[in-house]
Structure 1
Amino acid sequence: MSEIITPVVTVFNEDEKLDFEGNRQVIDFLIKNGVDGILVLGSAGEFPNLSLKEKLNYFKFYQEYVADRVKLFAGTGCISYEDTLTLSNAVLKMGYNAAVVIEPYYYAMDQSKIFDFYDRLAGEVTGNIMIYNFPARSGISVEPQTVCKLLEKHSNIVGFKDSVEVPSHTNLIFRNIDVSKFSVYSGFDDQFLMNISNHGKGCIGALSNIVPDIWSNLIKASNAQNYLRTMYLTGLIERLMPLYNLDSNPSLLLKKLMAHRGVPIQAADVFPFNKIDSKILRQAEKILDDVLNDFYQSKTEE
């Protein structure tokens, strides 16, 4: 069965501090509209803007407020190995389903170092981890052969989020692993169909922040093997994909669009990502409104 996991945005106030009430509103919006799980402090969650202590407090806040209503995953990758290990063990002790870990970024890595990193981490954490492959941000892609070597040694490496522009990389992952024991998620919303056609787990896609209702309907349709509805809803998601390219960091735009939908949050962000051109915002709102109008109309015709 496929699922949608939301790599959730992080709500800040005008002082660039965590807005816990605003984040509660986001959690309620996502759960009410049917997402299967939430990834806290993934890329859309702007994890570099928080200190280690702030991350630990924020993970605890999420675990307590969600209270097992949906699955919870935690983005724990840091430049420092020790920080990654500390966060990973902390969230697993809290009860998170898995720690989602990108390899150390900024400094260049090769496949040997990537293997060593995940090999040691898997041996020192107290539960499940998922590999987060995002070469546009980390600088290098985790190759299928590296994944296979890691799976041969570690049963607690349970999943893979593949955020790649060319889905042939994900296809090679599928060709080399046993999907009954390893969950593969597409990291980009428009690769969902490729994922489930290979018996993947679904998507960890940031558009589900703004359209959790469309995404949850898509998951229900695909799991029910409703081909026509699945294709129609996939088309709606495809029409939203240009939103990712309207701003260099789409996190603020996503929050603005959630506020546009009526989620009562301060759509603020941390410098230098705290401003957005009004023309871009209007363009984004038009894209979203057109898609939502068609979605609502399609529901009345069901």
Structure 2
Amino acid sequence: MVHLVKKYEEIKQRLRGSVTPLITPFKANYEIDYEKQVELIEYQLDNGTHAISVTGTSGEPSSLTLEERVYVMENAKQAINGRVPFAPGTGSTNHDETMYLTKKAREIGADAAMVIVPYYNKPNQQALYKHFKTIADTVDIPIIVYNIPGRTAVNMEVETLARLREDCPNIIGVKESNKDFEHVNRVLLHCGRDFLLFSGIELLCYPMLAIGGAGSISATSNVEPKKVAEMHNAWAEGDIKRAQDLHFELMTLNDVLFKDTNPAPVKAALGMMGKIEPVLRLPMDVPNEALQKEIHQTLVDYGKLLQHT
């Protein structure tokens, strides 16, 4: 146990800054494009991203089979090759599937697993506690709880999270896609300020750093990884003005990328940039024509595209 606790503490020191929740690229025939996935990972690392996750919300996990989710994790782990921490999403609405995927993440050598609060089921707080505690007790991998009440219809309450932190040494942090800034403040108050707090709300990525957050897991970093990473670097270096400037500089891009359900606008943007085929699996689909025009103009304004393209 002492060895494991040391391992958990080591990853807590490394898993910080801009963690990109990578999209899952598809070919025109809807098959996963594993070569493009590798190219996207290189794009991220070339632009300073501090860590990578796959098969989180931006990775369309509910559109993938269990087998595909494992393949995506394995392909990403091989491509990253230890250059930055790797924390794939292993959560599901099904407890046994979550256990299976979290064990697979442990087997392939992931640095941590990001486990979403189960969606659709709407479990109560005691059920959430039992779900996460069972996973943490069974799989000796660092775990980041992923709380996104806007998609799950359930909020992981601070008291429940604090119980899990107290009882499970491998639950090392939380991704809070929670617009309630009072809530996220209380996470650090009750879970301890060494608990890793990541923002999953783009406009709160900088404010969470100010209260002691560890970083962000922002879909925008798929499109603009350099500036998202630079914001964290500036904060870490004490250049508050630069970090604030980047926060506001990213705001327009953040806004347009969330005018439709993530990751549809992100995939549209990456398609316009020539990074991927802008394909989503049903029931998801690309944004409407008006939003695509707005995304295109925003990319032009950010210097990601030329005006005539």
Matched, 1:195 2:208: yes
Distance in 1 (alpha carbons) for counterparts of 2:186 and 2:262:
29
CA contact (8 A) 1:243 1:250 kept: no
1:274 alignment partner in structure 2:
285
User: What pairs up with 1:67-106 in 2 under 5 angstroms?
Assistant: 67-106=81-120
Shift of 1:238: 1.7
Out of 238, 259, 264, the position equivalent to 2:271 is 259
Distance in 2 (alpha carbons) for counterparts of 1:41 and 1:19:
14
Gaps of 5+ in 2: 1-12, 305-309
Out of 248, 256, 260, the position equivalent to 1:243 is 256
CA contact (8 A) 1:239 1:291 kept: no
CA contact (8 A) 1:39 1:73 kept: yes
Out of 6, 12, 15, the position equivalent to 2:29 is 15
CA contact (8 A) 1:13 1:269 kept: no
Out of 43, 46, 61, the position equivalent to 1:29 is 43
Considering Cα pairs closer than 8 Å and 6+ residues apart, tell me whether 1 or 2 has the greater RCO: 1
1:296 alignment partner in structure 2:
none
Secondary structure of 1:275's aligned partner: coil
Distance in 2 (alpha carbons) for counterparts of 1:112 and 1:62:
34
Shift of 1:216: 1.6
Distance in 1 (alpha carbons) for counterparts of 2:300 and 2:238:
28
Query: Structure 1: which 4+ aligned runs deviate by more than 4 Å?
Result: none
Cα deviation 1:257-290 (Å, max 9, x = unaligned) = 1233342x21211123233322211101212332
Given the superposition, is the C-alpha separation of residues 275 and 185 from structure 1 closer, same or farther in structure 2, using an over 3 Å criterion?
closer
1:172 alignment partner in structure 2:
186
Shift of 1:94: 1.2
1:297 alignment partner in structure 2:
none
Gaps of 5+ in 1: 294-302
Equivalent position amino acid for 1:258 in 2: L
Distance in 2 (alpha carbons) for counterparts of 1:94 and 1:239:
38
Shift of 1:68: 1.0
Out of 15, 18, 23, the position equivalent to 1:4 is 18
Cα deviation 1:129-163 (Å, max 9, x = unaligned) = 11100011111110111111111111010110000
Secondary structure of 2:88's aligned partner: strand
CA contact (8 A) 1:103 1:117 kept: no
1:135 alignment partner in structure 2:
149
Distance in 2 (alpha carbons) for counterparts of 1:147 and 1:276:
35
2:197 alignment partner in structure 1:
184
Distance in 2 (alpha carbons) for counterparts of 1:237 and 1:46:
24
Shift of 1:27: 1.0
> Structure 1 vs Structure 2: percent identity of aligned residues?
25
1:163 alignment partner in structure 2:
177
Q: Please report the TM-score for the alignment, with normalisation by the length of structure 1.
A: 0.91
Distance in 2 (alpha carbons) for counterparts of 1:289 and 1:235:
17
Secondary structure of 1:71's aligned partner: coil
CA contact (8 A) 2:268 2:286 kept: no
CA contact (8 A) 2:258 2:265 kept: no
Equivalent position amino acid for 2:282 in 1: F
Shift of 1:231: 1.1
- Structure 1, 238-247 or 120-129: larger mean CA deviation: 238-247
Distance in 1 (alpha carbons) for counterparts of 2:177 and 2:253:
17
Secondary structure of 1:257's aligned partner: helix
2:165 alignment partner in structure 1:
151
2:245 alignment partner in structure 1:
232
Shift of 1:177: 1.9
Distance in 2 (alpha carbons) for counterparts of 1:274 and 1:189:
22
Distance in 2 (alpha carbons) for counterparts of 1:213 and 1:71:
17
Secondary structure of 1:75's aligned partner: coil
Shift of 1:191: 0.7
Shift of 1:21: 1.4
Secondary structure of 2:267's aligned partner: helix
Distance in 2 (alpha carbons) for counterparts of 1:159 and 1:218:
21
Q: Please report the TM-score for the alignment, with normalisation by the length of structure 2.
A: 0.89
Matched, 1:222 2:225: no
